[in-house]
Every structure is written in C-alpha cells, then in structure tokens.
Structure 1
Amino acid sequence: MRYISLFFCWFLVVFYAKAQLPSVEMRGVWVATISNLDWPSANNLSVKEQKNEVISILDFYEQHHFNCVFLQVRPSADVLYPSKYEPWSKFLTGEQGVKPKYNPLKFWIKEAHKRNIELHAWINPYRIANSEKEPLSKDHPALKNKKWVVNYGGKKYYNPAIRECRAHVENIVSEIVSKYDVDGIHFDDYFYPYPVNGEEFPDSIDFIPYKRKFQKIEDWRRDNVNKTIKELHATIKKIKPYVQFGVSPFGVWRNKKDDSKGSETNAGVTNYDHLYADVFSWMQKGWVDYVIPQLYWSRNNGAVPFEHLTNWWGENSNGTNVYIGHAVYKLGNGKKDWDSVDEMIQQININRSDRLTSGSVFFRHEHLKQNKFGFADSLKNSIYQYPALVPSINHQKVHTPTMISELKQKKQYLKWSYKNQKKQEVKGFAIYAILKGGEKQLVQILDKKKIELSDINLKGQNALGFQVTAINKFNNESEGSNIIWLSGV
C-alpha cells in the first residue's frame, strides 16, 4: 500500500507539472515571532544574525515562488518596530522594552519587496501576556491602564469591551500603516480567548450598562468585536486604500445545527459562539478584504471535513477573497491521514478547483522548511513551479493600471516604458510566455522595465513569444501589451 501511495503522489506532482498553473493565486506562509518559534530563532542573536535569518527565510520563499509573508509584528502587546504606543518585543533582545540596533519591520519589508513578496503585518489584537506572572516593561500601557486588563485562563488580555482598548489597537494599526509600506494588516483567530473549562470570562460587570440594549452577554461581546473590525477597516482605507485588511479565523463559523447558515459540521468550538467573532457578517458587510479560515483538518475528518468547509467559506464570502489555511505542521504527526504528502497536495487541488477560493497559506515557516515527505520540494518543482500574482482586492478593481503602450525587443532584451498615473501607482510587471500549444503562462514578476531574455526562467519549455502587464498596489493588472514573437522557434 505504501508503494501505491508513493506512486499516486508522484502522479499528482507530474500532473501539476504539465498543467498550466494559475497566474493569480495567494501563496503565503505565517512567520511566528512569539516564543521565537520561526524568527528570530533565539532572543539573543546579534543584528547581523537576525538579518541573515530574514534573508534566508525570504530567499527560501522566493525560490519556492511564494508571494506573501504574514509576519507576526505584535506577538504579545509588544512590537518589532519603534512605537510610541507599545514597547519593543522581548523576543528580539530577551527583555521587553530593550531597543535593538535596527528596525526589524523596515528590514523585513525592504527585503520582501526586493523579492516581489508582499508583507502583511500580523497582529494579535488583545493578548498581553501568556502568563499572569510574566513581567512587563515599566512603561507598558497595561501597567498604566490597569482597568483595561483582564486575567483569564492564567493569561492577560486587553478587554474588548473597553472603548479605550479598541482605540489603542486602532492607534497601533494606524502607526504601522502610516509609517511603513506594508501590504496588509492581518489578525489571527484570537479575539475573545478560547474557552477555558470551568472559568467564565470576567466581564459581567462591564455588561451591566448594556443589558437594555442586548438580551444576552454573548451578543454584546460580538458587538464589541464587530466595532473593532469595522473601525479598523475604515481607518486603514482612509490612510492607504490599497492596504489590505484580513483575518485568519478558526475554521468553523457556526454549526448548521445551531444556525441554518452554518456548515455541516460538528465543531466543539466556533467563531460565533465561543470567540464572539461573527466573520460571516464581516464578509457580508465588506469589513475585511480577505479571510484565511484555518482548515487544519483532513479530508476524512467526519466532524469538520476539509472539502465541505472549503466550499462553505467560498460560497459565503460575498466577494471577500478566501484563502485556505493549511496545517503543514501535521505532516508526519503519526496519524494515518497525515502519513504522506498526499493529504496536503489533495487539499491544494480541492482549493484550486473551487472557483470561490483563491490560494493557500501555510502554518508555519519552521514546519514548511522541514520539507516533510518532500512537500516543499513538490511546491518548488511542480505545484508552484511558476510564480503567481497576489489576488486583487475585489471591491477596488476600479483602480486598474493602463496597459503598456509598446513592448520592444532590442537584441537580447525585452524593454518597455511606463508612466504611473494618480491612484494607480505600479509596483511591478508580469511577464507572460506564449508557449507551444497557444497557452499563456506567467513566468516572471519584476519591478524594472527590461529583462534579458536569457534571464526568463521557462523551466525547460520553449516560448513562441512574450507579453507584459503592469500591476499596481491594489494588485490589479493591466491589459496585456503587444506580443513580441520570437524568430527561429
């Protein structure tokens, strides 16, 4: 049976290698900084060592044709950049509030964009510390504003019910978007904390003034989170309309047994009922540009089946971009469904076949880098053999760049000119090869206006000609230029 499984995986890889790959598709990875999980690998590295690790990580994803990194820039109410609102992260220097000798976020953005990789600033909105006894820096806002803080499950959180806490998170996001060339702001699945058995979240006193407006405390909690999401979306779009705002919620919104709009699942925890995150409404109201549901289950999981949930999120997206979060960390975990690369490849296949989902994000870097069962190699050599553009923001397609007026071949170079127009600032260019058989394949993304023909990586295929498009910061793509047909092919 093992040989049959290996043969099937080989067949899938060969199939992807021969099939035309999508030119628009999210290919992302989460890079966790909390507890030094992914980066930096330790909290006592020199600046040079930290920078070398950044370069190594981004080189890996450039080589594997990824187009987005979700970097955790605020792991526990501390940050990876100079801020007037919160202290430096202890995961950089070993002590919260101690300044490193460079700006990590600025360096990450520069190096990511150099490789045509987007960087989304991943933020946990409410977590302060993973232990009530964890020391905070002397100027930490949680110490200055003790009424903002609640203890629950042995951890510290900002209270989502307090307007000043929401304003604090809004200030953090505004600071990042205003000062840095990030491509997105990204929230994970932690809104109200996951339930702790036998312990009630301590906000009953805060609820008292709102009892007339809300019949249940749960409705009030959801309203608190809704306000955070709505206000943040408006804030981001006011500063930079092209900066995306997205969330990666727990994989189940609600079970159908509890709500006719829910999924055919039997999840013990849901976004709506336990985390008070009404992601369904956020998609319906256009408060998020994308969602990445964490579908960390196999296709054979009876309670929460992967394929059904993929379909549910796409069908209920209301035009919101849907990318699927994959549990690459489960490969090789000793359970039957995860004892080969087949499960992960089949999940990507399901995702690609669903017209309402637009790509994949993998949790997390360290596990993907391990290349269990050769999965990373499969991405590089076949599934992600060619590059892909990040999907555009659906409701911002009005901002479309003008097409390149003339593409020319001068000796061994392709050259073109382009003039940016207001609100349509171009960040790069996509080169398409016209292959034998007539199909058009995206083969290169770059930020300059010429390229030597020998530098275009065709992966062993012969091109009959080339065409170029322009991409702006909304990830909208222009119409194709004229085609340059090659002689002698």
Structure 2
Amino acid sequence: MRLFIFILSLLFPFLPTSAQPKHEVRAAWVTAVYGLDWPRTRATTPQTIRKQKEELTDILDKLKAANFNTVLFQTRTRGDVLYTSAIEPFNSILTGKTGGNPGYDPLAFAIEECHKRGMECHAWMVTVPLGNKKHVTSLGSRSVTKRMKEICVPYKSEYFLNPGHPATKEYLMKLVREVVSGYDVDGVHFDYLRYPENAPFFPDKYDFRKYGKGRTLDQWRRDNISEIVRYIYKGVKAIKPWVKVSTSPVGKYRDTSRYPSRGWNAFFTVYQDPQGWMGEGVMDQIYPMMYFQGNNFYPFALDWQEQSNGRQVIPGLGIYFLHPDEGKWTRDEIDRQINFIRNHKMAGEGHYRVKYLMENTQGIYDELVENFYAYPALQPPMPWLDSVPPTAPSELTVTDIDSGYTELKWQAATDNDARNKPMYIIYASNDFPVDINRPENIVAQGIRETSYIYAPILPWNAKKHFAVTAIDRYGNESRAVQK
C-alpha cells in the first residue's frame, strides 16, 4: 500500500502538462518486418517504386507536422536488410522476393528524406534473432546460417546468432560498419541484443566450457552481450564519433527497492546489463521497452534515470495498447507517462509503433500535435562525446521577397570537428532580441545551407525578428546572430 501511495504522489492522474522542453527526443519506430508500418506496396515497377517511396514520405510528413525529431527506421530484420549490402540480402517485404532489388536504396532514401525535414534517422537493427527455419531457408545461400554456420545456433524452432562465440561480435560489426561508413545515419539502434527469454537450454554449453573461465553461466552470458556492446560502440566511435549508439532493452532492469520486476527483467531473463553499459560509457542512449502501466512503469523508469550515468534515457511507450485488438489502455495512460518523463527530466520518449500515430488511435496524434508536441524540440546534447559548440553564424541579412516570404542569409559557422559542417536553427519572434530559449520561437532545425526562406503559415502571423544559431551533430548550439 505504501508503494502504491508513493506512486500516486508522483503521478496523480490529473497532473498539468509540463512545460514543453527545448531539448527532447521525440522518436517513432518505423517497423518494416512483415510490412507492419511500411511498406504496403511492393517495388516491382517504376510506378510501384514511386508508390513505396510515397508511403514513407507520407509517414515522415506526418511525423514532421507533429514536431517529431527522430525516426528509428528498421534497417535489419532477421538476417536480411533494407539497404544495399554486400553481406546480407534485401528483405522480401520490399519486392515480394527475398534479395529482390527494389530499384533504390531504402535506407539512403529514408535518411535523405528525414534530413530534408530536420529529423534524425537512426538505423534500427535487429541483432541476435535470425528467424524460423522457413525464413532462414528462404534466404538461401546468403543466409548467415549457411555462410557462417559456426556462429549460428538453432533453438526452439528458430535460429540465433550465438553471443558466446567470439566471431559473433565481429559479424555484427561488419554489418554496422557498412551502415555507419556508407550512410549519413545519425544513430544505430540495436534491438534484441540479448539472449532468448528464459533460455536455460540455449545450446552454448561447448562455448561455455571453452570460454567461461570460472564464471557462472549467467555471468558469462551477460558478459558476452556486454562485450558485443563494447566492441560495436568502440567500432562506431572510431568511424564517426557523433553517430549515436542506442539499444532497446527489456523495460525493467531488475527488481528495485520501490517495486519488484516479478521475474521479468533484462538482467536475469535475457542477460542484458544496460545500466552497466551506461555506467561504463559504452552506450549513448537507451530506449527501454516500457510497455507497461502504473507501478510496472513508473518505479522502473525512475530506476533507469537514476542509474543512467548522464546518458540519455528515452522510455519506449506502448502506444499500440491503445488499439482494442492489442490492449485495453486509455490514452490518459500515455499522457501521464509523458508528464512523468518530463517531470523527471528524462531525455524524451519513443512511440511504438508509428502505425498508431498515423491512424490517430484514441486521438494520440492529435494530442501530441495540440498539446505535448505543439512546439519543436532540439536533440539533447551529448557532452560526454563533445561539449564545444560551433562558432556563431555571422552577417545575418533579412530580405522581404514576393508573396510575403522572407529570405534569410548568413555567413557559415565552423566547428571544432572539421569532418562536420554545422547545421542551423532558425528562430523567429515579434520581440527583439529573439529569445532562443523558448521552443515556440523555433521555426526550423537541421538546416544545412546558409540561407532559409521563411514562409509564415498565415500572413498576419508573420514574425518581425529572426535569430540563427549553429548546432553540431553532438547537439552543441552556438550563440545567435540576430536581426
């Protein structure tokens, strides 16, 4: 009873909505497996290629209109991919045929379209599961189960990479290297980076005898997952240190002093140690899959934040439970969870899945547009990677042009990391100087040129004054030039 009262004291259902923060991750998972979110059309002709692309841009347009800033785009599913890979075949969902070339590179297209809209694109990669026997057979000779049998194991009618084999981390890093080196991704997001649930008979006894070195089986398995995380994190940072590395662990780390996990947690059930990863500094963000209500959400969200070592905790919200076929949640549950996340200064939230945003299930999309995400938000900075902002842009000019539009031009900023050109944030207000601490003054973000055309939605709402700042890919923002 004491715990229940404690949670109510934190979360009385009618809490007022917190003031919108200037920095907040607002993410959505775009699920490609089985075409759950995208695509619906198979790309087999010029017309259907165009239609498949339009389905994705329609999603991105709607996310942009709701001031989302992060897209978790499914890039690898079960041993197959949605980009041009020398290692694994194209997913059949693109063309209806395993390995079928869709006539374009979906990941490159997604990144380009996200960046046009000022949103980040993170490559969401399923790691350890490889699918059932039918799926593995459909991949033919390009399946990793055929090409690298030594790192693959069957278990309960499915195949998995074996985290206990030293070559597994190298294989996964080869895939990650293709993505990070070949594409302008903002992040790589790892899913199912864990053992199967409750797997006492997972077939790794040989590897345990060979590599266990006196550890218990549980600790050895946990160390295996942590070593994969460590290896990939260091590998990504050696290529492009600004690329965010994140995972979506099981939503409860382990029992907390506030509330038990009731036998379902990351640490014991699937051998993940995400708090250890953050403590060691080999993880930039976690998106714990917190698809729970009440006491199964709030104490565990607090636990993640308290043990985050300053890294970004972005709870994944189970908005799919708003659909009557999935659960019996009401939307006020999600409202309370977002309020809680903001009140406890977590980095933001992710929405699983984008379909339920597109369909406005129980009015969730409208609520975000009108209330929680009424104004834009910038990405939270990552000072553990880089804390030096770019120089300020200079020589801002503001020129009225035809049809009520205004053209802004400025001189470029420079950054301490010469590999990255700064991007720009545009602010507008009727007050001078423009207050760049107010998110309602943000007009555009992620601008990659040194000019911008300001077009007010309504002519009588046009703003008189403007400010431009530079921002780097670590989220560090410069001083403003004002006009």
Alignment: residue pair count: 456
Alignment partner of 1:328 is 2:319: yes
- Give the match for residue 294 of structure 1: 289
- Give the match for residue 412 of structure 2: 418
Q: Secondary structure at the match of 1:147?
A: helix
Q: Distance in 2 between matches of 1:335 and 1:147?
A: 38
Q: Distance in 2 between matches of 1:328 and 1:133?
A: 28
Instruction: Give the Å deviation of 1:370.
Output: 1.4
Instruction: Give the Å deviation of 1:265.
Output: 2.5
- Give the match for residue 472 of structure 1: 472
- Give the match for residue 306 of structure 2: 315
Q: Distance in 2 between matches of 1:43 and 1:194?
A: 33
Counterparts of residues 112-261 of structure 1 (less than 5 Å)? 112-131=114-133, 134-135=136-137, 136-195=139-198, 200-214=201-215, 216-256=216-256
Instruction: Give the Å deviation of 1:209.
Output: 1.9
Q: Distance in 2 between matches of 1:191 and 1:335?
A: 25
CA displacement 1:96-137 (0-9 Å, x = unmatched): 222221111111111111111111001111111134664222
| 1:162 partner letter | H
| More off after superposition, 81-90 vs 107-116 | 81-90
The answer to whether the 8 Å contact 2:136/2:145 transfers is no
- Give the match for residue 383 of structure 1: 372
Instruction: Give the Å deviation of 1:251.
Output: 0.8
The answer to whether the 8 Å contact 1:428/1:445 transfers is no
CA displacement 1:67-95 (0-9 Å, x = unmatched): 11001100011111121111121221223
Judged with a 3 Å threshold, the aligned counterparts in structure 2 of structure 1 residues 211 and 332 are, in CA distance, closer, same or farther, namely closer
Q: Secondary structure at the match of 2:130?
A: strand
Q: Distance in 2 between matches of 1:164 and 1:95?
A: 29
The answer to whether the 8 Å contact 1:161/1:206 transfers is yes
Instruction: Give the Å deviation of 1:398.
Output: 2.6
| More off after superposition, 423-432 vs 88-97 | 423-432
The answer to whether the 8 Å contact 2:129/2:161 transfers is yes
Q: Distance in 2 between matches of 1:269 and 1:397?
A: 36
The answer to whether the 8 Å contact 1:247/1:290 transfers is yes
CA displacement 1:392-416 (0-9 Å, x = unmatched): 2231233421112343333444332
1:349 to 314, 334, 339: 339
- Give the match for residue 36 of structure 2: 37
The answer to whether the 8 Å contact 1:324/1:359 transfers is yes
| 2:414 partner letter | N
Q: Secondary structure at the match of 1:255?
A: coil
| 1:118 partner letter | E
- Give the match for residue 53 of structure 1: 55
| 2:147 partner letter | K
Q: Distance in 2 between matches of 1:414 and 1:44?
A: 40
Q: Distance in 2 between matches of 1:227 and 1:430?
A: 38
Judged with a 3 Å threshold, the aligned counterparts in structure 2 of structure 1 residues 47 and 346 are, in CA distance, closer, same or farther, namely same
| 2:110 partner letter | W
Judged with a 3 Å threshold, the aligned counterparts in structure 2 of structure 1 residues 117 and 397 are, in CA distance, closer, same or farther, namely same
- Give the match for residue 104 of structure 2: 102
Q: Secondary structure at the match of 1:401?
A: coil
The answer to whether the 8 Å contact 1:414/1:450 transfers is yes
Q: Distance in 1 between matches of 2:374 and 2:253?
A: 34
Q: Secondary structure at the match of 1:467?
A: strand
- Give the match for residue 261 of structure 2: 266
| More off after superposition, 23-32 vs 89-98 | 89-98
Q: Distance in 1 between matches of 2:115 and 2:100?
A: 28
TM-score in terms of structure 1 length? 0.86
CA displacement 1:449-479 (0-9 Å, x = unmatched): 33445x2459987857432211112222112
TM-score in terms of structure 2 length? 0.87
| More off after superposition, 463-472 vs 327-336 | 327-336
Judged with a 3 Å threshold, the aligned counterparts in structure 2 of structure 1 residues 48 and 481 are, in CA distance, closer, same or farther, namely same
Q: Distance in 1 between matches of 2:62 and 2:230?
A: 36
Q: Distance in 2 between matches of 1:347 and 1:457?
A: 32
The answer to whether the 8 Å contact 1:426/1:470 transfers is no
CA displacement 1:266-322 (0-9 Å, x = unmatched): 3322111121111111000110011111111112xx4x2x22222211111001111
Q: Distance in 1 between matches of 2:140 and 2:154?
A: 18
RMSD: 2.7
Q: Distance in 2 between matches of 1:29 and 1:125?
A: 19
| Unaligned runs of at least 5 residues, structure 2 | 1-13, 401-405
| 1:450 partner letter | S
Q: Secondary structure at the match of 1:138?
A: helix
The answer to whether the 8 Å contact 1:30/1:71 transfers is yes
- Give the match for residue 363 of structure 1: 352
The answer to whether the 8 Å contact 1:33/1:72 transfers is yes
The answer to whether the 8 Å contact 1:399/1:423 transfers is no
| 2:130 partner letter | I
